[in-house]
Amino acid sequence: MKIIILTFLFIFSFTKFYGQETDPDFVTSDIDNFWTAYDKITATKDSSEQYYYLNTLFLKKASPGQLAIMQARNYSASSFIDAINNYPLFWRSIRKNTFKAKAIGKELKGSIIKLKTLYPQLKPAKIYFTIGAFMTGGTTLEGMVLIGSELAMGDKNTITSEFPETYGHLRSFFDGNPVNNLAFSNVHEYIHTQQKTTIGNSLLAQSVLEGVAEFITVLSTGQKSTTPAIAFGKQHDARIKQVFASQMFNPFTGYWLYSNEQNEFKVRDLGYYTGYAICEKYYESARDKNKAIKEMIELDYNNELELNRFVNHAGYFSSSLEKLKEDYDRIRPSVQKINEFSNGSIDVDPRTTQLTISFSVRMDQRFRNFEYGPLGETNVLRLKRFIGYSDDGKSATFEIELKPNQRYQLLVGGRFRDEKGYSLQPYLIDFETADKSE
C-alpha cells in the first residue's frame, strides 16, 4: 500500500510539474473576433460603420494579449481599418491559416516541455494569438507571448502584391512558410518572457538578447533556425563579424535588427546571427551545458561588466571587448564646435536666433536626437525649428529663441550617426546668456 501511495504521489507531482506549470494557456479568441468584425467591415463602405464594427466586435472584446500587442506596436483603430481596406487580397489569402492556431497547442506544449528540461527554472507564460497590422510576427510584453498571426501564420500562398515597397521584405518572409514554424517562433518568444529585459541598451546587448532566445530555441526544439539571417551569417561570418565589431557599441540597432534599412549584405536582422554565434561559441566551450543555458537566459544584458564577461568568455571576437571599444571610440564622429559662440560662454547675446552644430565628418541626415543636460528640463535649450544640414553634411542648423540671464543646456545625443553608421560621441551644449541691458 505504501508503494502504491508513493507511486500515486510521484505521478501526481510529475503531472503537475509537466502539466500545469509548463502547459501555457493558449488564447485564440482574438482571431475569431477579428474575422467576425472583418466580415461586417468589408460589407460596407461607410467609414463610421466600419469603425463601429471594429470597436464593438473586435477591440472591445480584445484579450489582454491583443491589447498588449497594440500597445507594443502602437496599433490604433485606423491601423486596422486601413489594413483591411487597402489589402483585401492579402486578408483573403491568410484567413484560413489563422484558424490553425487552435490546433497548434500539442506541438507547442511538447516544445515547452523540452525547454523546461533544459531550463528547470522556466516560469509559465500565456500565449496569445492576436491580429496586428504588419509590425511584428511575435513579441512579448509583461510576461505574455504575443503572436502577430497575420504575419506568423502566412505561407508561400499568401498574397503580397498589394503591399507598398516598405513591406517588400514580407514576400521572402512568407515564402519561408512561417506557419509551419509556429512552434519554433513561439518558443523563441517564450524565452524572452524569462529574460530580465527585452530591450538592450546597445546593439551588442540587443543582439545577444535575441541570440540567446534563438540559440536556446534551436537546442530545445532540435530544429534549425527559421531566421534567414542565421544561415546567411554562417556563410559570411568573417565580414559580418568585422562590420558588427565596429558598430556593436552603438546605442541604436540600425540595420542589424528589425529594419529594412539598406546595408552591404542586403540581408536584414543580422544582429540575430551575431548574437546566435556568440551564444553558440559560449555553449560549445562550456563544460556544464545546463549551467551555460541558465547563465545565458539570466544574463543582465544591460550590465556592461556582465555582458563583457560573457562575450569575452565566448571568444567569438579575436580581440577583447575592451580593446574593440577603444577602437570604436577612436572612429566615432564628434562635435567640433558651435558656430555662433564658444560652448561654455557666459555672455552669449540673447538676440541669437540660430544654432549651428559642426561635426567632424559628414553625417547621416536621417537621424538626430537631443536629451536634457544635467540641469534637466528647467534649463533645456529648446529648438524651435530644424533649418537643415549644410551642403557637405558636416553641420546642422536650428532656429532658437533665447532669454537674457539664463543658463541653457542641451545634450547632442548618440543617435546622431555618420554615413558609415557610427554613433556620435555625445556632446553637452552648455552656456549662459548676457544681461539684455549690457
Per-residue pLDDT tens digits for 297-342: 999 999 999 999 999 999 999 999 999 999 999 999 999 999 999 9
According to the 3-state scheme, what is the secondary structure of 381-429?
Answer: CCEEEEEEECCCCCEEEEEECCCCCCEEEEEECCCCEECCCCECCCEEE
Q: What angle do helix axes 203-221 and 237-247 make, rounded to 10 degrees?
A: 140
Query: Which pLDDT band holds residue 16 (cuts at 50, 70, 90)?
Result: very low
Q: Of all helices (H) and strands (E), which one includes residue 49?
A: helix 47-54
Please state, in angstroms and rounded to a whole number, the distance separating the CA atoms of residues 135 and 150: 10
Per-residue pLDDT, averaged over 273-291, amounts to 97
Position 41 scores a pLDDT of 98
For the cut 80, the answer to whether the pLDDT of residue 23 exceeds it is: no
For the cut 60, the answer to whether the pLDDT of residue 6 exceeds it is: no
Buried b (16+ CB within 10 A) or exposed e, 215-227: bbbbbbbeeebbb
Buried b (16+ CB within 10 A) or exposed e, 101-137: beebbeebbebbbebbeebeebeebbbbbbbbbbbbb
Position 279 scores a pLDDT of 98
Per-residue pLDDT tens digits for 420-432: 999 999 999 999 9
For the cut 90, the answer to whether the pLDDT of residue 436 exceeds it is: no
Question: Bridge-partner residues for 338, per DSSP?
Answer: 357
For the cut 60, the answer to whether the pLDDT of residue 24 exceeds it is: no
Position 132 scores a pLDDT of 96
Query: Which pLDDT band holds residue 103 (cuts at 50, 70, 90)?
Result: confident
- Cell output for 432: 549662459
Please state, in angstroms and rounded to a whole number, the distance separating the CA atoms of residues 245 and 66: 38
Position 105 scores a pLDDT of 66
For the cut 90, the answer to whether the pLDDT of residue 48 exceeds it is: yes
Lowest mean pLDDT among 13-17, 374-378, 394-398: 13-17
Query: Which pLDDT band holds residue 362 (cuts at 50, 70, 90)?
Result: very high
For the cut 60, the answer to whether the pLDDT of residue 234 exceeds it is: yes
Position 104 scores a pLDDT of 77
Position 224 scores a pLDDT of 92
Q: Give the closest residue to 19 by CA, choosing from 102, 103, 110.
A: 110
Position 437 scores a pLDDT of 54
For the cut 90, the answer to whether the pLDDT of residue 200 exceeds it is: yes
Please state, in angstroms and rounded to a whole number, the distance separating the CA atoms of residues 211 and 227: 11
Position 438 scores a pLDDT of 53
Phi, psi of 127 (to 5 degrees): -115, 125
The pairing of strands 127-130 and 26-27 is parallel
- Angle at CA of residue 157, ends 154 and 158, nearest 5°: 45
> Could you tell me what percent of the chain has a pLDDT over 90?
81
Query: How confident is the prediction for the chain on average, in pLDDT?
Result: 91
Question: Bridge-partner residues for 342, per DSSP?
Answer: none
Please state, in angstroms and rounded to a whole number, the distance separating the CA atoms of residues 434 and 407: 10
Lowest mean pLDDT among 74-88, 94-108, 198-212, 382-396: 94-108
For the cut 50, the answer to whether the pLDDT of residue 4 exceeds it is: no
For the cut 60, the answer to whether the pLDDT of residue 18 exceeds it is: no
For the cut 50, the answer to whether the pLDDT of residue 11 exceeds it is: no
For the cut 60, the answer to whether the pLDDT of residue 258 exceeds it is: yes
Position 76 scores a pLDDT of 96
What string of DSSP letters covers 140-195?
EETTEEEEEHHHHT--TT---TT--GGGTHHHHHHHT-GGGGHHHHHHHHHHHTTS
Beginning with the edge strand found earlier in the chain, give each strand of the sheet holding 395-400 in spatial order: 335-338, 354-359, 395-400, 383-389
Position 49 scores a pLDDT of 97
**Domains recognised in the chain with CATH numbers:** 20-194 (no CATH), 202-331 (no CATH), 335-432 (2.60.40.1220)
Query: Which pLDDT band holds residue 142 (cuts at 50, 70, 90)?
Result: confident
For the cut 80, the answer to whether the pLDDT of residue 375 exceeds it is: yes
Beta strands of 300-378 (E only): which ranges?
A: 335-338, 354-359, 370-371
Position 5 scores a pLDDT of 38
